[in-house]
Amino acid sequence: MIERWHNKEHKTNKEIADLLNKSERTIRREIKRGLTTNITTYYEEIEVYSADISNDEYKANMKAKGQELKIGSNIEIINQIEKMIKEEKKSPEVIAYELKEKGLLEITARTIRNYIYDGNVFDLKEEDMIYNKKHKSKNKDRRIAKHTPPEKSIENRPQEANDRSEYGHWEGDLIIGKRKKGWVLLTFTERMTREEIIIKIKGKNNEYVVKAINGLERKYGKRFYNKFKTITFDNGVEFMDYEGMEQSCIRKGKRTQIYYAHPYCSGERGTNENNNRMIRRWIPKGIAIDNISKEFIKKIEEWLNNYPRAMFDYKSSNMLLLEI
């Protein structure tokens, strides 16, 4: 089929990939392996694709490679890994761990990643990849926030928050939808356990952020004050009302302490940034958040809090909470 499409119908690699439901990279490599030179009746040299040459080249490469693929011939395992990546949104690290725990296969995350990038084992396209980053200039459209008081700098945050030795210190941010307008997701990540809370709010401004925290205080009641000891945000204008966020809505005085990372230092809130990237596995950039149901958002939150994490010997956030 590829011979006819490439040599006679002159279809592009992308068109062939779409017809076969394969990635363009897979088709490009297949054709590159099978290119050969033919002489036309007019004694002109042209490059054509030969499936036989491609197959011979593939076998030669595999023989030179030595040991056979660990999963190359195991269709059941291949299908299971594809499902874990596409449907369950799991990383190669978690996949490798779970396959070993179930006694199915011992394989490293690096090997799984190599198979994915090679394009000859899994039926995966680039959009299926975890953390498929598109590089762009940072902070291009960032708004400049008003100056925050020195005492609210992350430099003054309690040491227990910095070294993650105590539960109750959070990082917060917004996940923006299509066209950077409309409903957004307000996300909170606890630094010690990576526990996640996701709240859908009407827009990216102070008022809706304060209302969301008010809702959390009413939900948790007295437990709120030990659960939310501090919250660290970036310098976006939507987080500038620290007084409103700190002020309790059900008692006199403060309910938490707000701190701000240094400008353009997202790494100071790396825990929240990492969890937000995991949320993007379910809600890719460019998707309007307005139409996403609260039930689906709750499902993502539960998925995150039950996700096995390598840093915790593959315990989830919920499992760690039971140990506190």
Mean pLDDT per block of 10 residues along the chain (324 residues) reads 84 88 84 80 77 78 57 77 87 90 88 77 67 48 58 95 97 89 94 98 94 97 97 94 96 96 90 95 91 96 96 96 94
- CA neighbor of 248 nearest in space, from 213, 200, 209: 213
Answer for the pair 256, 232: CB distance below 8 angstroms, yes or no.
Answer: no
Query: CA-to-CA distance for 313 and 170, rounded, in angstroms?
Result: 22
Answer for the pair 314, 94: CB distance below 8 angstroms, yes or no.
Answer: yes
The predicted pLDDT at position 143 comes to: 41
Answer for the pair 280, 177: CB distance below 8 angstroms, yes or no.
Answer: no
pTM recorded for the entire structure: 0.68
Give 32's contacts (C-beta < 8 A, 6+ positions apart).
Answer: none
Query: CA-to-CA distance for 298 and 201, rounded, in angstroms?
Result: 14
Give 98's contacts (C-beta < 8 A, 6+ positions apart).
Answer: 84, 90, 308
The predicted pLDDT at position 38 comes to: 77
Angle at 225 between CA 220 and CA 227, to 5 degrees: 70
The string of pLDDT tens digits covering residues 47-71 is 888 888 878 777 776 665 545 556 6
Give 122's contacts (C-beta < 8 A, 6+ positions apart).
Answer: 78, 81, 82, 85, 115, 116
Query: CA-to-CA distance for 214 and 246, rounded, in angstroms?
Result: 10
Alpha carbon distances (Å) from 221 to 29, 190, 225, 243, 302: 59, 18, 8, 19, 21
Query: CA-to-CA distance for 295 and 292, rounded, in angstroms?
Result: 8
Domain locations in the chain as residue ranges? 2-128, 150-323
Q: Tell me the one-letter amino acid at 43.
A: Y
The string of pLDDT tens digits covering residues 254-306 is 999 999 999 888 889 999 999 999 999 999 988 999 999 999 999 999 999 99
The predicted pLDDT at position 24 comes to: 84
Considering the four listed CATH numbers 3.30.420.10, 2.60.40.10, 3.20.20.370, 3.30.930.10, the one that applies to the domain covering 150-323 is 3.30.420.10
The predicted pLDDT at position 163 comes to: 96
Q: Which two tokens stand for residue 228?
A: 């939310």
